[in-house]
Every structure is written in structure tokens, then in C-alpha cells.
A and B are shown apart, each in its own frame.
Chain A
């Protein structure tokens, strides 16, 4: 598949960094033509082990889904505010049970032929990176056939 650099995938979550990344892309591309942007929210199902029962767990997942959908709408609004045409901005929420969010983002990028991937990065200490891993670092290391913009 051909990867078009004007086809931009912004991976977002509920953080401020994601908002910053979206805002940055809005500033950069709003005057240009031919850009198509997809906002992608990968929702990893919170582990069932963290909850005493099925219903509290499902409640939590539903709550996260709702909040992710709202967040995507808000971020789309932000891009439109910056001057992008609403028809050029789409959003996707995908739910995974696998461990790796980075892998899900890269799979989506590959499948959709996105030539640019944008991700926000929060300041993380070395210890945090060791213990919990970093989505943005993983994407920088393993992404293929695309440019990666990491917004800090």
C-alpha cells in the first residue's frame, strides 16, 4: 500500500499531550491543501483483574468508551477551529485487549496507508519508562513507511 504523507494519523488519549499534538498539527496543516486527518483513540480494555466483579469492570469500560468518544469529538472540533474542513477530519475509536497500544497504532497506520503519524509525549523519567514502557518511544523505534512526529 502507498503511504501518503498528507494522510495524517494522530494517536490520542485523554491527556493534555494529546491535545497539544492535535493543536500542533492544526497549526501546521490548516493553510495547506489535501491533508486528511484521522484521530485515533486506542482504548485498551482495563484488566479485569483490577476489579472485584464483572459489573464494576464493565461499568468502567463503558465509562472510558464514552469519555474517549467525547474526547475525539472535542479534538475534531479543535482541528476545525484551526481551519480544517470537517470532512477532512475523521475519528476512530478502537478497543483492544492486547497489551500494546503502540502496536495497535502501527497496525492501523499500515492498514490505512498513513504517511505521517503524530503522537504526544509526556515527560517520563527513565525509571517510569523502564517499568511501564512508553508508547511514543515504541512507535519511534518500530514504525515503518511513515514519518513520526512526537510532540512534547
Chain B
């Protein structure tokens, strides 16, 4: 088996040197067994596995054994292969537990829908010899947008007027991308900060990971819209604010907060950012407050959200100029 891989690598990528040659997998059902040095063969294409992808949260690496970082031997390009893993798990959003499902089928369908649209990660899906739908994803060369924003070293006011208008303009486009999904009866399903990336070269924002599906009562788009709102509040604030980290920006200043100043779901997060930064336009803060514990009316569509958000861009630009 090792010889087979060695010969394949030698033939297709003669300059590639790896520490170990494994075996060729045409059936990816048992993805835990597939590791460094193995090759996944899909139709007539070959993908050399480098490692399992991992998610970092709270400084801990959580390996995703069904997601393989690979080299496509025919082209030499880096690819991510997402293998089939049917998982039902609980998404915890504040106090709510939401049963979620991982759906390769959904992700494959969305990849087809958004082909050529730079606002989304790109890829194709192919079946292995057992019919497992493997998604072959182009690597997004960039970094998480929230990290990019957080690492800008400048006071909030300067950030808000100099950097944020450009960020907001692109974020609005990212919202339109989600609107496009919804118009096509699809949802992203997991809009959170680590799923919107900024490409190094183009500076474009790119949505990743569309394989979450979940059950809903009446509005299938609510979870996506809440995700967009939370992301907007993060971007406008340049970070998350809780009672615990407020002293960094308030210093000795004393401000009183009420229940309605906090997020509807993440009960410790302040969403009434205008209380912290009075130069944030009222019109924009009104949008934030639709995601607060005081909200009585909620956005039902991304179009409603955008109708409020788009005018804010001009308001901020004009405020900056004045």
C-alpha cells in the first residue's frame, strides 16, 4: 500500500517530500482511520492528506477528524476535504439549546449555488466509491474578520470613523450574500464570528462552512439574522463588551446599565454601544437594540435588516467628514 502512494506522489508531485506514505482510500466512511500520508481518491483525482483540521476555542484545539487538509496531487493546490459525518449536536446560544444537524447534502447544494461568487468559500462535491458526498473546498487564504478588526491598534473613535465605514460597506455586501441564500431557500445555519473571513490579497469577506441545518417553528432565517446582528455589533464595537471588561474603556467613568442594554441571547454582552460611544449614530444603535433584551420587534428577513443598515453607512461617512 505504501508503495502505491509513494509511486503516485513521485509521479504526480516529484518535488514533494513527505515523512510517511500511507494507503489510498476510495471509501471515506471510516474517516478516523485516514491520516497524514494517506491519499483520498475521488473519481480520477488524488488528495494527499496532511492533517486533520481543528477548531480553536478557549485556547484548546478541537480536532475535526472528518475535515482533512490535503494537497491535490494533480494540481499541487491546497484543498480541504470535508468527509461525511452525520452528527446531531446541540448548539448553545445563551440559555437556548438548539438541536443542529451536520448536512453534507446541504453544503454540497450551497457550493453549487454560490459557484463563482467571491462572497462564499468555493468548492465542489464528489461522491466516493461508497456514495459519501465529499466536499472539496478551496482554502481561503486569509484570517477571521473579527481577529483582523480586534488587532487594529487604535482608539475606538479613530477606528469607528476611519476603518469601520470600509468594513461596514463590505459587511453589507456579506449580508446581501446571506440574503441571496435566503432568496434561494437556503440558510447559512451557523453565522458566527469565526465563519466570516477576510482574504489577504483582495480584502474580500468570505463566508465559510454551510453544513449546519436545524429545525425551526416558523422563521427559518432567524438564526442567520441573529448571527448577522451579533457580528455587526462586534464590528461596530471592535470587540465584545461585558461588565467584566468595561473598565478598560470607561476608566473612572461610571455608567449605569439596565437589562435592555444587553444582548437578547448572550445576557452579559452589551449591545447598547451608544451608551459607551456616544458618537455612534442613533440610527445604527436602533439596529443594535433590535438584538437586545428590550426588543419587542425582531427582524424577520435580511432585507429588513439591510433596509435599516444601509443608510447608516452614509450617516457615518458624513459624520466623519463633519
Contacts and interface: CB of A to CB of B under 8 A. Distances in A.
Interface of A: 46-50, 52, 99-102, 125-135, 138
Interface stretch (B18-26, B89-97, B171-179, B239-247): B89-97
A49 B103 contact: yes
A49 B213 contact: yes
Contacts of A47: 213, 215
Chain B interface: which size bin?
20 to 34
Contact of B264 (A48, A130, A132): A130
Interface stretch (B49-57, B64-72, B279-287, B292-300): B292-300
B103 A50 contact: yes
Interface of B: 86, 93-96, 98, 101, 103, 105-106, 185, 213, 215-220, 222-223, 225-226, 264-265, 293, 295, 298, 300
Majority secondary structure of chain B interface residues (helix, strand, loop or mixed): loop
Given A126-B264, A127-B96, A128-B96, A134 B217 contact: yes
Contacts of A132: 216-219, 222-223
A127 to B, nearest CB: 5
Q: Which one of A46, A47, A49, A100 has the highest number of Cβ atoms from chain B below 10 Å of its Cβ?
A: A49
Given A99-B220, A126-B295, A130-B298, A52 B213 contact: no
Given A49-B106, A50-B101, A130 B218 contact: no
A132 B298 CA distance: 11
Contacts of A101: 217-218
A127 B265 contact: yes
A22 B257 CA distance: 44
A133 B215 CA distance: 11
A38 to B, nearest CB: 21
From DSSP, what is the main secondary structure of chain A's interface residues? helix
A30 B256 CA distance: 56
B226 A135 contact: no
6 contacts: A49-B101, A49-B213, A127-B94, A127-B265, A130-B264, A131-B96
Given A131-B226, A135-B218, 5 more contacts: A99-B185, A127-B264, A129-B298, A130-B264, A132-B216
Contacts of A126: 264, 293, 295, 298
Nearest to A13: B217
B252 to A, nearest CB: 34
Contacts of B298: 126, 129-130
A131 B101 contact: no
A138 B219 CA distance: 10
A128 B98 CA distance: 10
Nearest to A141: B300
Contact of B215 (A50, A128, A135): A50
A56 to B, nearest CB: 10
Contact of A50 (B96, B213, B217, B219): B213
Nearest to A126: B264
